[in-house]
Every structure is written in structure tokens, then in C-alpha cells.
Amino acid sequence: MNDSLPAPRTAAAAQAPVWLDALGALLRPWLRIHRTPEDARALLPDDARPTVYVIERYGLSDTLILEQACREAGLPSPYAAADRLPIKRRRAVVALSRRPRLFGRRPHPTRSETLSLLADVVRAAPDQDAPEKDVRLVPVSIFVGRAPARESGWFSVLFSENWVVVGRFRRLLALALNGRDTHVQFAAPVSLREVIADQADAERGVRKLQRILRAHFRRIRATVIGPDLSHRRTLIDGVINAAPVQNAISASASKEGNGRDAAVSKARAFAWEIAADQSPLVVRSASFLLTGLWDKIYNGVRMHHFDKLRAIAPGHEIIYVPCHRSTIDDLLLPYLLYRNGLTAPHIAAGVNLNLPVMGSLLRRGGAFFLRRSFNDPLYSTVFREYMSQLFARGVSLEYFIEGGRSRTGRTLSPRGGLLSMTLRSFLRESHRPVVFQPVYIGYEKIIEGDSYIGELSGKPKEKESWLGLFRSLRALRQNFGSVAVNFGEPLFLASLLDEVEPGWRETIHDPEVKPSWLKGAVDTLAERILVNINRAADVNPINLLAVALLATPKHAMAEADLIAQLELCKALLTELPYSDRITLTPLAPAEIIAYGEKMQWINRVAHPLGDVLSVDDKQGVLLSYFRNNVVHLFATAAWVACCFLNNRRLARASILRLGRLVYPFVQAELFLPWSEDEFAEHIQRTLDFFITQGLLEADADGRIIERGPGQSDPAFRLRALARTLLPAIERYYIGLALLVKNGPGTLSSGELENLCYLTAQRLSLLHELNAPEFFDKSLFRGFIHKLRERRVVWADANGKLDFDPELQTVAYDARVILSREIRHGILKLTPEKQAELGQVAMEPSTVESGRRVR
């Protein structure tokens, strides 16, 4: 044993053999190493401890790659580091597993002779506190060709990295084809002395160390290339043989009387219909193809905050929960994850996409299919068990909690079915921490634009088909601008459960029994996911143009006014940031206008007194979609502006009081992140901002706020901001007016929702209100739900809504915000309960065909 002080790191007393240098020189032109972290040298403190690199699998190619990666990172070479070891070794490298030998005895699969010798030396060292008496182990993960580049050939995907220990010839082909996409990931060093210190003998400490290292390499490999999935048939057999499914089979056989064999066949058919069959080859091939597709239809795909996701991914079960704005979402997010070093998730897809051929391809890409209805108890049990099996295998998942695509651009109310299944799976298999990753996806133009216009006009949604797919291919000739993918603040499931139910671990006795607190946990989780999606929004030039231009009656502005309004919007988002994950276009207002013209969203009308920018009717409908993407970001400013629509002067206290009154309903509709007190603070800051900008004025003590004359530029800019929130306030007034007019104990929740819907339909015809979602039933349903939740109204013994007479005072407060014309129009249109109105609703196509949607 060499007890002398190791040589300094820079003095390489040992060099790699000449033949190894020659092989390295031959391999070097075929290698391009992507190193993680880039500054790997910072992982190793400059002390006297000798360093040993630990790799997952032994191979000459891995040694050459490690040698080059260390050289590029400024780390000691494995051969130079060997000279500092307390035992005699040619290179300071340990492999946890070895390839089978061509001849001779196969090496022991779980024991490393080098680690055992090092452990004996470290344990026997008399001075345990001396750094040179310890050994620093640095785990290094090496992947050759995990994601072939676009310029590589199709053949290269066959030889990309996987879970199988390949032979020498296959590894050589992989290096030749994919060597320029080699990933080397250095991990933080591990102290050998610390690991074996609490063990009875050195050999037991070595076994513990090897278990830790194997778990580390499995975790990194699963993060980078995905989990090691068994054959689909094996997974389905596991689902069918699970106790909950067997119990459901027995119940189904007893209920339907067709015999147990028929029930088993039915359950197996459900499982085959649901299950994905992810193929690494198909995933890599899809990555290859999609790169060309994105380059063709988009100017660029921008990601923000991905580094924060990458930092938490190892060791966590990741559930990706993006917003759902376009069919492209299903392909875009998995593609970006895969191309940037994370495994492609399994994706929940509607069974309507399970078309011939296409369904098989989607399955091979990782899609699993679910029906819209879970009415069949056997189907529900099979699906839930399939989710649990994926969960137990460490598969990352992706699903949309809004249920379907948003046709209006707004964040839709959540559906908690898949979230509930995920939580119940976690309660069964809580070995790995689970994190939900909200993702915001923002477009500048959507492929489904024309179909969305049709659906907003009352046409039924077209069923997915190959014919529809071929028709949509024509849209690929257009310019769709750029796409932004923002990763929001993650939600750690265990922490959320600790908050909702601190004793949740003690309440789990039978994993198949649904805990009483589960629904509350699912509701809280769903709301926070949507809040965090909104807190990661990207504001692109089209969003800003939509917010500004759709606020005018004719969707037109003089260029100078439009520039001023765009400057105001950007200043609001910059000086009063909604969250630290919001991203904003760097373009100046004039550049935004030029970009909108280039994208053919707006038209320029030349005029001697100044050009006018306008939007035609069809584009106005589509632009409302992009306004709704970001309307939540302007909610506070729009509320303050609403207060001055019909008032020149208001007390600051009145603005705050009314803001607190309306906030719970705005919060529920737009998924805002603040409490009522925090919203009041934002109102205060917004008032101060408007005063600084010259849009409002305050008296000497700041208690009375005043705006300028109605025809002034500041008043015009405030009116434009107010119109982003005004339709919501009008909807609330419709609901309150109907309640007050019909009296307590008259309307049920369903009857009130239907009357609100009919009243809003008629009001939109008479006043050409410019929000396509103005009479969306789901928004009225959410408003009524919030009224009941806050005990503003409640159901009596007959199921009718009762309320306190003070509700009339609340409705009276609307005079501060709404004009007399709108209030009187709503009051005139609000009917008393009639049987025919409570049961029959005007067809949406009738309404939309008679008005211009803006």
C-alpha cells in the first residue's frame, strides 16, 4: 500500500498506453461528446483524495469515451488518476457490470475486486480523518446515440442506446453511426469511507455501495432513455391478474350472467384497447421525422425553464400536465423532452384517435387510449389498474386535465379523473416521489383555426378521420410563426398531501379503498396545476395585438394609438410581473405591428392623417383565441380600468372593496394565483402604476383617484384595457339579476344556468358583444358553483336556490362598473322562470349566424 501523499492533480505520472492513444485518435473524428454538467471540473474539490471513475458497463469504447470526456472537461485522466490510488491499478475505472467473455470463466456479476481492495485499504487506514486515506468515487453515465440528429440516417436509430448490454460489433456500429451524439453525465462524487463506515465489515460496505451505484445508474438511464418496459403482453397479463381486476371480473360475470370466461375475455379486450406498446425505434424515428415537420411549419420552438425540470427529473416520477390548445400539443412536448435528454412519456389519448394504422403508430410512440365515459365498472377498474402498473414501473406520464382542447383559448375547468387515478396509484406504490410538471404551450397561429371558427359558430365537432387528417395537411403550407413551451413551477405530490391531509400516511390501510380526503386533494391539485400553467404563460406579439385591437368596437386603431396601447401592455407586464416564469416578446411596439402584418393577422389601411391597423371579422374571431390565452395576466389592470369606465372619480377604498367582492369569481374563472389580500395589494400597485403613467391622478393624500375626460387618450387606453374583463362582469350581473328578479326558492342551479345562457345569447345578438365564450354554459356553471361554495346562495329542501336579501345590494353595486345601457338591457332581458325557457335552449347555430363574433 502506498501511504505517501498523492501527487498534485496536474502532474500526470501515468499515461495511457500508446495503443490506447492510437485507438482514441482513430475514434476521435467519430465522437462528439455532450457533457453534463458542462463544468464537470467543479464537482471535484481540489484536495488530496484520489479519484476513481465508476461506469455502468465495461467496454473499451466506454474507456475511450471517458478518457476524451475527462480531457475536454479538464479532469484527471483515468490513467493519470490511477497513479494516486493506494492500490496498484493501471486505470482508475470501475465497471459495475461486464460483458460476457469470449473464453474463460464469466466474471462475477455483482462483485468488483477493485472496490473490495479499496474498501479494505480505506478501512485499515490508521488516520481516518486524513483526506488521502479516503477514495472519491465519481459515477459517470455514458450514452451513445440516445437521440439521432436530423442529419443522421434512418439506419442509425437501430443502434441507439437502450437497456440491453450489446456486443462488441453492435457497439462498434453504434459508435460509427451515432458517436457524434454521445452523452456523458458526471455525478457528484461519493466518499467510499462514508459509505462503508457504518458496516460491520468492508465486504458488506462494498455490497451496499454497489446497490447505491446501480440504483443511481438505473435512475439516470430511466431519465435519459426511459424505463425498461416489459413486453406489452406481460403488462396486460399483470393487469388482468391483479386482485382489483379479478374482483371486478367476478362482479361483472355475476351481474351479466355470461360466465367468468366471458368476463375475463372482456377485461382482456379492454386492456388491449387501452395499453400502449412503446417502441424505442418508433420514438426515435418519430423524433427524426418531427424535426423536419417543425422546421417546415414553425419559425422556431422556444423552451423556457427547462433547466429547472432537468434538475429535478432524476429520481422522480414525472407527470406532465400541459394546457391543451392544439392537436400538435400531443406531439410537441414529448418531442422536446426526448430531444433534450429526457425520456418520452406515455401519453393519455382519446380513443377517437385510435384509427386504423394511426392508432398503432401512436401506441408504438407511447400513447394509451381512454374512453370518454367510464360507466362500465370493469373498464374503469382495468384502466385504473393499467395506470397503477405504469406507475409501479416508473413510467413518466402526460395527460391533459382540461379534458379536451380549448376552442376559445381560455384555460378550461379541470377534470379530476386521471388525477384521482394517479393519486391512488401513488398510495399503492409510493416508493418514488411524484412531481406534477405544469407546461404552458403558446402558439402564434393554430392549425385548427378554421375548425375552431366553425365550432364557435355552432357547428358540431368533426370526428377524427384519415380524410380530415389529409385535409389538414393543406394547412402545413402556411406560416405558423413560432411556438413557446414554458415549464411552470412543479408540484410535489407528497408535500401537497401533507398540506391537505397531514396524516395521510396513517389513513392508508387498504389501497383499494378511496380515502375520504381524496376528492379534496384532487380538487386542490387540479386547481394549482392550472394556476401554475397560467403563471408560466408566454406573451407573444399576436397575444398583445389581440388584447389591444379587440378592445375597440370595429377592431381598428390608428397606428399611433396601437403603439401606445402595446407600450402600456408591455410596461404592465414588465413593471408589475405576474410571476417569475412569465416570458414576454422582446419586440418593440412598431416591430410587433410589422410582425402582425407579416403573419397576416392585421391589415394596414393607408390614410393621409395616419395609417389605421384593423382586423377583419374572421381574423377577429381567431384573435379572440389569442387574447384569451393571456387575459389572466391583465386581470388586475382590467379591473381597475373597469372601475373608471363610468366614473371620473372613485375612492381608493371603494375600488379595493369592490375588488374583494368580485375577485373570488374572477379567480375561479381565470385561475389566478392570489388570495383576496394579495389581490388587493396588486390593485394598490396597479393604481400607483397608472398614476405614474399619467392615466390616473390622485389627490394630495392619495385617497381619491380620478381619470381624465372621456375623450382623452388616457381614458381611451383605460377603456381598451377594461374590455378584456368586462364580459365576465356582465355575465356575473346576468346571474345575479336573474336570481333577484325570480326571488329566493324559485330556481334550481340547472334552471339558473339555462336562463343565464339564454339571456346571454339574446344580449349578444342585441349588443354584438365581442367575446365568443360570452354565453358559454360552463362559465355560468362555474359562477353558480362559486356562489354556492361561498354561501352567497344555497339549496333549500326542494333543491331551489335560496339567498339573503343582501344579494340585491351586491347586484346594485354593479352600477359602479356597468353602463346604464348594459344594465337596463340585461334587466329587460332577464325573464322570470318559465317552463319553456327552463327546458329549451336556442340552438347555438341560430344565435351565431345572426351576429358578428368579435
Q: What is the pLDDT of residues 341-378, one digit of tens each?
A: 888 899 998 888 887 878 888 888 889 999 988 889 99
Q: Give the CATH number, domain containing residue 486.
A: 3.40.1130
- pLDDT at position 854 over 60: no
Residue at grid coordinates 483526506: 131
For residue 189, what are the domain limits?
Answer: 18-225
Q: Write the DSSP string, 48-110.
A: S--EEEEEEE--HHHHHHHHHHHHHHTPPPHHHHHTTSSS--SSSEEEEE-PPPSSSPPPPSS
- Report yes or no on 711 lying in a domain: yes
- Same domain for 583 and 653, yes or no, is yes
DSSP states of 748-781: -HHHHHHHHHHHHHHHHHHH--S-TTTT-HHHHH
Are 323 and 470 in the same domain?
yes
Lowest mean pLDDT of 72-81, 508-517, 603-612, name the range: 508-517
Q: Which three cell numbers stand for residue 122?
A: 480505506
- The reply to whether 13 falls in a domain is no
Which pLDDT band, with edges at 50, 70 and 90, does 468 fall under?
low
Q: In the predicted model, is pLDDT for residue 444 greater than 90?
A: yes
- Could you give the 3-state DSSP secondary structure of residue 662? helix
Asked whether 202 and 116 are in contact (CB, 8 A), the reply is yes
d(Cα 443, Cα 447) in Å, to the nearest integer? Answer: 10
Given 656, 687, 722, the domain boundary residue is 722
What pLDDT does 154 receive? 45
pLDDT band at 81 (very low <50, low <70, confident <90, very high): confident
Q: What is residue 208's three-state secondary structure? A: helix
Single out the residue in 722, 745, 761 at which a domain terminates: 722
Query: Which residues have CB under 8 Å from 52's CB, separation 6+?
Result: 81, 85, 92, 93, 94, 114, 118, 135, 136, 137, 138
3-state secondary structure of 604: strand
Domain match, 215 and 170 both: yes
Give the integer Cα–Cα distance in Å for 398 and 404.
Answer: 14
Mean pLDDT of 138-156: 63
| 34 compared with 629, residue with greater pLDDT | 629
Q: Identify whether residues 548 and 529 lie together within a single domain.
A: no
Contacts of 656 (CB under 8 A, 6+ apart): 680, 683, 684
Q: Determine contact, residues 730/723, Cβ cutoff 8 Å.
A: no
Q: Specify the DSSP class assigned to residue 832.
A: P
The whole-number pLDDT of residue 57 equals: 79
Better-scored residue on pLDDT, 572 or 326: 572
Closest-CA residue to 713 (of 518, 568, 529): 568
Residues 544 and 569: beta-carbon distance below 8 Å: yes
Residue 49 has pLDDT above 80, yes or no: yes
Q: For residue 226, name the pLDDT band (cuts at 50, 70, 90).
A: low
Report yes or no on 658 lying in a domain.
yes
State whether 556 and 636 are in the same domain: yes
Q: How far apart are CA 26 and CA 321, in angstroms?
A: 46
Q: Which CATH number fits the domain that encloses residue 616? A: 1.10.10.10
- The answer to whether residues 135 and 203 belong to one domain is yes
Does 2 reside within a domain?
A: no
Give percent of the chain above pLDDT 90.
Answer: 35
- Specify the 3-state DSSP secondary structure of 249: helix
Instruction: Verify that 699 and 735 share a domain, yes or no.
Output: no
Do 57 and 85 share a structural domain?
A: yes
Q: For residues 6 and 217, which has the higher predicted lDDT (pLDDT)?
A: 217
pLDDT in tens, 178-195: 777 788 889 888 888 888
Q: Looking at the domain assignment, is residue 506 inside a domain?
A: yes
Q: How many domains does the chain have?
A: 4
State the pLDDT at residue 290: 84
652: pLDDT confidence band, cut at 50, 70 and 90?
very high
Q: d(Cα 771, Cα 559) in Å, to the nearest integer? A: 24
* Mean pLDDT of the 788-798 span: 89
pLDDT of residue 572: 96
- How far is the CA of 721 from the CAs of 207, 570, 633, 640, 821, in angstroms? 66, 12, 11, 9, 20
Lowest pLDDT segment from 88-92, 297-301, 493-497, 810-814 = 810-814
Interval 613-617 mean pLDDT:
89
Task: Say if strands 367-370 and 491-492 run parallel, antiparallel, or are unpaired.
Answer: unpaired
Residue 12 lies in a domain: no
Write the burial class of residue 36 (CB in 10 Å: 0-12 exposed, 13-18 middle, 19+ buried).
Answer: middle
User: Which whole number is the average pLDDT over 118-136?
Assistant: 75
Q: Would you give the distance in Å from CA 66 to the centre of its chain?
A: 35
Q: Is 303 helix (H, G, I), strand (E, B) or coil?
A: strand
Of 508, 534, 560, the last residue of a domain is 534
Q: Is residue 245 scored above 70 in pLDDT?
A: yes
Q: In this structure, are 773 and 692 located in the same domain?
A: no
Q: Which comes out higher in pLDDT, residue 397 or 102?
A: 397
State whether 452 and 342 are in the same domain: yes
CA distance 19 to 514: 65
Cα separations (Å) of 636 from 156, 628, 665, 830? 53, 15, 13, 29
Q: Give the pLDDT of residue 130.
A: 65
Contact 82, 92 (CB under 8 A): yes
Say whether both 710 and 738 belong to one domain: no
According to the model, what pLDDT value does residue 18 have?
Answer: 76
Least confident of 90-104, 296-310, 501-515, 630-644: 90-104
- pLDDT band for position 472 (cuts 50, 70, 90): low
What's the CA gap between 579 and 568, in Å, rounded?
18
9 within domain boundaries: no
- Residues 201-221 pLDDT 10s: 777 888 888 888 888 887 887
Per-residue model confidence (pLDDT) at position 169: 65
Q: Does residue 743 share a domain with residue 698? A: no
Query: What's residue 534's pLDDT?
Result: 97
**Is the Cβ–Cβ distance between 344 and 366 less than 8 Å?**
yes
6 located within any domain: no
How many CB atoms sit inside 10 A of residue 240's CB? 17
Q: What is the pLDDT of residue 2?
A: 40
Say if CB 120 and CB 51 are below 8 A apart: no
State the pLDDT at residue 191.
87
User: Cell digits for 91?
Assistant: 486505470
Contact 718, 641 (CB under 8 A): yes
pLDDT of residue 118: 85
**β strands within 709-817, DSSP E:** 793-795, 801-803
- Over residues 562-579, the mean pLDDT reads 96
Q: Which of 13-17, 443-447, 650-654 has the lowest mean pLDDT?
A: 13-17
Least confidently predicted of 13-22, 638-647, 739-748: 13-22
H or E segment to which residue 470 belongs: helix 466-472
DSSP letter at 802 equals: E
